[in-house]
Structure 1
Amino acid sequence: MSSPSRAYAARRRHLLLALLVPVPACFPPGPAMAQEAPERITVTGISKAPAPVRPAGQTVYSTSRATYANTPALSVADMLVTVPGVSAVTGNGPRDVAISIRGSDDRQTYGLRNIQVLEDGFPMTQPDGLARADLIDPHAYAGADVVQGPASTVYGNYAVDGAILFHTRDGADLQGVELGSDFGSYGLSNQYITAGVAGRGYDLMVFGSDVRGDGFIANSRYDTSTENVKLRIDLGPRDRLVFKVVNNVTDTRLPVRLSLDQYGRNPYQKGCSNLGQAGCGSVSLYRNGAYGPVQAVSPQAAGLGRFDRRTIVGLRWEHDLDRSTVWRTQFTYDERDIDQPTSSTSYVGPYDSYDVSSDVTRNGQMFGLPVTSFAGVNWNYLDYGSQVYNLTPLGGATLGSLSQTAYGHQWNGGARFQEEIRFAPHWKGVVGLGGEYSDLGATETIFSDTATGSSRRFITGNRFYFNLAPEGALIYTPSSDWTLHGRVGTGYGTPQTSNLFVTPQGLFGNNTKLNSQSNVGVDLGAEWHPSADLTLQATGFYEFFRNELVSQTAGVNLQSYTFNAPASEHRGVELGADWTPLPRFVPGARLLLTYTYDNQIYTNYTEALANSTTSRSFSRNGNAIPGVVPNVLDVRLVYDRASGGFEGVGGFLEFSFRDGFWLDNANLLKAPGVGLFNLDLHYDPPRRMKLLHRFHIFFEIQNLADRTYVASASNLSDSLTSAGVQAGASVIAAKTGSIYAGAPRSFFGGVRVKF
């Protein structure tokens, strides 16, 4: 085994005093993240004491930069592909990936929902629970920790199924400038620069990138720029400031989502600019941009796309009250401006939010036993105003009449505490409680135009919610090779104001009876290290949801709507393995495996369907929740030459499997599964090669077998036929607005040089 591998194994064994040690959302990553160590999958996280915000006792899987440093790393999905329990679907744009923890976001086709996202300790999720992956260029990051299962005790509203804690690189890790250029199929070009410097009392990292391409689906050209800055300053021996800036501009064209039938005929929407081919998707636009007859046009002719800007600025003060107590206070301003002609209408408007939090963490003793105490408060506020315009068939996303306005707010205020106590040499217990009050209010104005005049309809919605999240956990470490843990945790998520104004018919109206969803989850897990060459991990989870918020589309040119499923259960298993099978003979060969089984079913839900004359109810008890992928597997065979004439040469062969999944509540129609092969080759010249050591190159082929597959699918509504019976699978298969195809065989290459 190479010396870096031995050092890594020793460090990991040292961390195994507990399976789930504190993961500091507010501190920079430690040595295990800061270096490009060998690829790994680990549930230990990163430890630094005291840790102000951390999921003590909770399942945490981590990934490091080594997993994706020599890949195209276009989106956050490339960062997290080797993390058990995580899956991803394509959203509205090349980097707008919907990330799911244990299936939490598989039903969401844009953005990140049901999880809290933090970067270097600053919130990337706005108060309404929405985060966007457009912000994330993986080249800027040292790694991420994925907190699995309900986590509202520490992370508050919308941490229904966990949190993701991203860590950017440190200036001390860089100490210079890195220039990179990635290129590949379908016009991909990503130019990026990372600069870092550190000295006595400061650490600065600056990153910037511009990625553009033509896309593999018609009308999916894109150009995205990102800037990311992190500055840490020591004001004295007991005070520190952390300054954070993230800025992103996304300019992307958008195709329309297809029906399963259309996808089967023309998955990449070729020849559809004039709707001249079979299997083409379209949007129906008012010919005069306001009312009356409509005209079906292609997404190219309509000019569908997104032009969004997001700017986040944060400042944190960390003060050591004494040698064992840290007080942390931070403020974050988050501005999101959207211009989104994504369908027959265009959404325009600002979403400005403010977040303030303060917490104290103390390492001490209680009755002579080691105790870590955490307490914190938070308050955040979102103020938004949006306008919705009809599009016209004139092209270029030309706006017609105003169809809707929405002005509203959401604020959340809460408090939480958590206690860890080591009550025996091999045992640690955790208890905690969090509570939060949420206020949602908005007024929507619906404009109706006819040949005889115009009218307005006002819809007002106000809801107030209060949620509690208790938790408890036990951790048992009989030896440095074994760690067992059990936890009962709670998560909750209120609706967003946008959920309150779309009825199950896909039309604007009052939907204010929605309740908060809640999740009580039980985790049982183990980690075993029989040797430095093998790590095995397993976690079983069983989660009980009440009033789960489920969204689905009512059909073409209709709005997606949200409803409460009274009761559902999520249960599954997460597995991870990291194995060096022949450490003496082939020390550079490793096997990385992650597998997730996720079975989610309704246990109490009756769905009402109606046609123009009849209404009927159907029990969905025992049905699988649509959109959830039951089996996800990733196997990566890695080889990195650590010595000899070919030192620095490496690569991997990867197989990723994604199971088929249901598209509707009645479980009549399924999206097919797929297995993909990827091949990567890279070269990191050793230090002895002097100037050449500064260069790093890679080449990768994705989807080696050129399989056609479903990369994203919106849930579809079941319906009644004119005869009053539930429509069959063939009817659902013809419903549009659901499916994006995944990329065919693609070639990528890149070079990175450090000065």
Structure 2
Amino acid sequence: MPIRIIHTRLPGAMASALVLACGHAAFAQSAETDHHAATPPVRQPAKRSVPVVPVAPPAERITVTGSARGPATIRPAGQTTYSAERSSFANQVGQSVADMVVTVPGVSFVAGNGPRDVVVSVRGSGDRQSYGLKNIQVLEDGFPVTQPDGTARSDLIDPHAYDGVDVFQGPASTVYGNYAINGAINFRTRNGADIHGLELGSDFGSFGMFNNYVTLGVGGRAYDLMVFGSDVRGNGFIANSRYATSTENARLRVNVTDRDRLILKFINNVTDAFLPLRLSLEQYRLNPYQQGCAVAANAAAGCATVNLLVNGRYGATVARTPQQAGLGRFDRRTIVGLRWEHDFDSRTTWRNQFTYDQRHIDQPTSVASYVGPYNSYNVSTDVTNRARLGATNLTTFGGISFDDLDFGSQVYNVTPAGGATRGGLNGTSYGHQWNLGARFQEDWQFAPQWHAVIGLGGTYSDLGAIQNLYRYGPTGQSVTAITANRFFFNLAPEAALVYAPDRDWTLHARVGTAYATPTTSNLFVTPQGNYGNNTHLKSETSVGVDLGGEWHPFAGVDVQATGFYEFYRNELVSQSAGVNTVSAFTFNAPASEHRGVELGAEWTPLRRALPGGRIRLSYTYDNQVYTDYTEMMSGSGLSRAFDRSGKNIPGVVPNFLNARFLYDQPDGPLEGLGGYAEVTWRSDYWLDNANRLRAPAYQLVNLELHYDPPKRLGWVHRLHTYIEVQNLANQTYAAGATNIADVLLADGTQAGAAVLATRTGSIYAGSPRAVFGGVRVHF
């Protein structure tokens, strides 16, 4: 059962420690408990918290948000943090990471490229991307799952394997290094001691979805083991979106001695998915699910097609639907990590960690097919000392990290022959990216009610790659080589102050900084969406101010609010040039600002009469604007400059609201019966730099009902069942829309919304009404 520990005295190395996971510092508590009885999940509100401090200053007192049955929440000192616990997502279908983070303030999401490739955004970090998790560092159990080029994907995540997720918000490069421009996310898998046995489960429902999964868990004082595996398949609700995904996840902790611990981590994921094309807004309005589009010649209005070279090399093209072309993804990701923790004494801990991460892609997603391995290595070491400075507590952290990505990829033209048949070689890219970083942080509780944090981090990044571009014609082929050798050095200081006047109030203020370098893939795509020279890109940097508080006015009410204002320089923004191009392109906006508010609240309105009823609210307002950016546009033999200062940055969802009305029967004949009604609202948002075309808003209503039999019913209590209805009103909505480029007309003016609505490569529709059910049994 999730709890909040306000004052806890732990002996020696069991006290709070500042962790560097893949070179990232964070508070963690190393205490382990021994459990010998399984307990079914208890639905409780997801914990949302900012760093708090003890009201009195005795030695080795810590503040932790965590679980009474597992390790504490990993958190960087002084940073705005929100969490969602297993109780908020364990009783539903849990198809993707979106089900885990929907209740977290400051977090939004849109559809990516594939069944579980959800683009998760922290304060808009990934809103301008078409896939993956960008501009944030992502970890799992403290091990990095973001590669050195800033790429992380949510395909790896089956929510059934997890105990919770912690979201660290705002500029965070002091702690997390390169690409932590908007923060970090740490996913926590379940503890073996909590599972204490074997769980078998199945989810099934609309569009042929079927997920079989198994979880094994055992644990004691000297060890803890969790092993999870799942296989999910479905037909999808858009034409050409059938998929099959398998995931294996394991974590083993062994206490080798009283002072030494080893933690082994393993993740493997295979995604085999057919992929539809993204639509223009006009196509989406006509045919959102791309029905009747199997054959281009007979395609109904609103179908998306791609123009493929007839001979696979040059010359004439022919239109093909995704089904005819065989578009899709076959990707494999394998991560293996090992961490050794050693306590020199009761106050000093040394941690060493190594992670190997291989991402292998085979992606015929449009006119081109991308093939290649991306192998990365991450090593880090750090020391944490918890000392006394007079009558006050001082925690000092220092660490270094190194990560390296070595890749070699090929891009082939897709031919009209079907089955994603490869034609001529379009291009090759070989190179590396490595980051060498150092972190230092002081955390000082200088008075009973005051807590101060200062820190400094820096990273030296080296990007080197060569791209060979192949061009074909009647007389033969030519090869053009483009070389990129870029070096970046970035520093990120931070300072935070936390004030806790009493147990009902916690106030915090923070100034954080962050940076993100371009990736090698950004350097080789031109504004026309074709392969070429874009090697002039600079690092983006930001400075952000957070002001927030947590308030418990009386029993049954918890409120947390944070306001943020962030100043960006050379912000890296991506947008699509259309379906019949190889990729989105990236540019630097010289200056921009992000400002907004995050609000989380939970209320038990009738604590005595209806103790099982609760209301949970999560709201994010995110306003991002260019303050200095002039865009050059070309077309019809003309070139013109347009000032975008004051324009909203496209792709950013300004309003995201989730409200849940929950009830769980705590006793009586219906004990264990519960459910919720959920409303999710996302406002419309701009899709282009000129702010002429918007993606439409949506409002969704979801219902869930579950039953966890009480222990008094004997073996029946080991059975969990649920049923869920998503999109109850069967609304047609845009689940994801990537940015599009503006168009310059022949008279030198910019095209209006009517023309931009025909620009392809942007929109994926969301699911129509869907019904799911599931059962889980514990042995």
Conserved in 1, the CA contact under 8 Å of 2:357 and 2:376?
Answer: yes
Deviation track 1:414-445 (CA, whole Å, cap 9, x = no partner) reads: 10111111111101100000000000010000
1:51-62 alignment, distance < 5 Å: 54-62=75-83
| CA distance 1:104–1:200, shift in 2 (3 Å) | closer
Query: How far apart in 2 are the matches of 1:451 and 1:536?
Result: 69
Task: Check if 1:418 corresponds to 2:441.
Answer: yes
Structure 1 spans left out of the alignment, 5+ residues:
none
TM-superposed deviation, 1:155: 0.4
1:598 equivalent among 622, 625, 628: 622
1:335-734 alignment, distance < 5 Å: 335-558=358-581, 559-734=583-758
Deviation track 1:71-123 (CA, whole Å, cap 9, x = no partner) reads: 00010010000000000111111100110001111111101100000001100
Query: How far apart in 1 are the matches of 2:75 and 2:102?
Result: 23
1:741 equivalent among 762, 765, 770: 765
1:154 equivalent among 175, 183, 195: 175
TM-superposed deviation, 1:728: 1.1
Task: Check if 1:95 corresponds to 2:91.
Answer: no
Query: How far apart in 1 are the matches of 2:523 and 2:714?
Result: 62
Instruction: Tell me which amino acid in the other structure corresponds to 1:263.
Output: Y
What is residue 55 of structure 2 aligned with on the other side? none
Query: Equivalent residue of 2:521, what SS?
Result: helix
Deviation track 1:45-85 (CA, whole Å, cap 9, x = no partner) reads: 74599999741000000110000111000100100000000
Query: How far apart in 2 are the matches of 1:684 and 1:624?
Result: 47
Deviation track 1:613-652 (CA, whole Å, cap 9, x = no partner) reads: 1110000111000000111100000000010010000000
Query: Equivalent residue of 1:576, what SS?
Result: strand
Query: Equivalent residue of 1:154, what SS?
Result: helix
Instruction: Tell me which amino acid in the other structure corresponds to 1:154.
Output: V
Task: Check if 1:83 corresponds to 2:89.
Answer: no
TM-superposed deviation, 1:471: 0.1
What is residue 225 of structure 2 aligned with on the other side? 204
| CA distance 1:638–1:215, shift in 2 (3 Å) | same
Query: How far apart in 1 are the matches of 2:92 and 2:188?
Result: 18
Instruction: Tell me which amino acid in the other structure corresponds to 1:38.
Output: Q
Query: How far apart in 2 are the matches of 1:544 and 1:617?
Result: 24
| CA distance 1:360–1:155, shift in 2 (3 Å) | same
Query: Equivalent residue of 1:322, what SS?
Result: coil
Conserved in 2, the CA contact under 8 Å of 1:355 and 1:380?
Answer: yes
Residue identity over aligned pairs, in percent, reads 62
TM-superposed deviation, 1:28: 7.3
Task: Check if 1:43 corresponds to 2:45.
Answer: no
Conserved in 2, the CA contact under 8 Å of 1:34 and 1:142?
Answer: no
Task: Check if 1:220 corresponds to 2:220.
Answer: no
Query: Equivalent residue of 2:48, what SS?
Result: coil
The worse-fitting range, judged by mean Cα deviation, of 588-597 and 505-514 is 505-514
TM-superposed deviation, 1:36: 4.0
Instruction: Tell me which amino acid in the other structure corresponds to 2:156.
Output: L
Query: How far apart in 1 are the matches of 2:549 and 2:739?
Result: 35
Query: How far apart in 2 are the matches of 1:216 and 1:318?
Result: 47
Query: Equivalent residue of 2:564, what SS?
Result: strand
What is residue 249 of structure 1 aligned with on the other side? 270
Conserved in 2, the CA contact under 8 Å of 1:429 and 1:473?
Answer: yes
Deviation track 1:549-578 (CA, whole Å, cap 9, x = no partner) reads: 000012231231100000000000000101
TM-superposed deviation, 1:13: 5.5
Query: Equivalent residue of 1:726, what SS?
Result: coil
Deviation track 1:311-345 (CA, whole Å, cap 9, x = no partner) reads: 00000000001101110000000011100000011
Query: How far apart in 1 are the matches of 2:730 and 2:521?
Result: 39
Conserved in 2, the CA contact under 8 Å of 1:50 and 1:361?
Answer: no
Instruction: Tell me which amino acid in the other structure corresponds to 1:679.
Output: L
TM-superposed deviation, 1:699: 0.3
Query: Equivalent residue of 2:699, what SS?
Result: strand
Query: Equivalent residue of 2:155, what SS?
Result: helix
Query: How far apart in 1 are the matches of 2:380 and 2:339?
Result: 9
What is residue 54 of structure 2 aligned with on the other side? none
Conserved in 1, the CA contact under 8 Å of 2:272 and 2:329?
Answer: yes
Query: How far apart in 2 are the matches of 1:142 and 1:232?
Result: 16
Query: How far apart in 2 are the matches of 1:128 and 1:217?
Result: 31
Query: How far apart in 1 are the matches of 2:434 and 2:114?
Result: 29
Instruction: Tell me which amino acid in the other structure corresponds to 1:192.
Output: Y
Query: How far apart in 1 are the matches of 2:674 and 2:648?
Result: 42
| CA distance 1:51–1:179, shift in 2 (3 Å) | closer
What is the root-mean-square deviation of aligned Cα atoms in Å? Answer: 2.0
TM-score by length of 1: 0.96
Instruction: Tell me which amino acid in the other structure corresponds to 2:764.
Output: Y
Instruction: Tell me which amino acid in the other structure corresponds to 2:49.
Output: V
Task: Check if 1:111 corresponds to 2:132.
Answer: yes
Deviation track 1:211-247 (CA, whole Å, cap 9, x = no partner) reads: 0100000000000000001000111000000001000
Conserved in 1, the CA contact under 8 Å of 2:40 and 2:708?
Answer: no
Structure 2 spans left out of the alignment, 5+ residues:
9-15, 20-25, 52-63
Query: How far apart in 1 are the matches of 2:103 and 2:18?
Result: 22
1:280-319 alignment, distance < 5 Å: 280-319=303-342
Query: How far apart in 2 are the matches of 1:568 and 1:600?
Result: 7
Query: How far apart in 1 are the matches of 2:71 and 2:337?
Result: 22
Query: Equivalent residue of 2:131, what SS?
Result: coil
Query: How far apart in 2 are the matches of 1:270 and 1:433?
Result: 54
Query: How far apart in 2 are the matches of 1:582 and 1:686?
Result: 23
TM-superposed deviation, 1:731: 1.0
Query: How far apart in 2 are the matches of 1:223 and 1:716?
Result: 30
What is residue 777 of structure 2 aligned with on the other side? 753
Conserved in 1, the CA contact under 8 Å of 2:43 and 2:664?
Answer: no
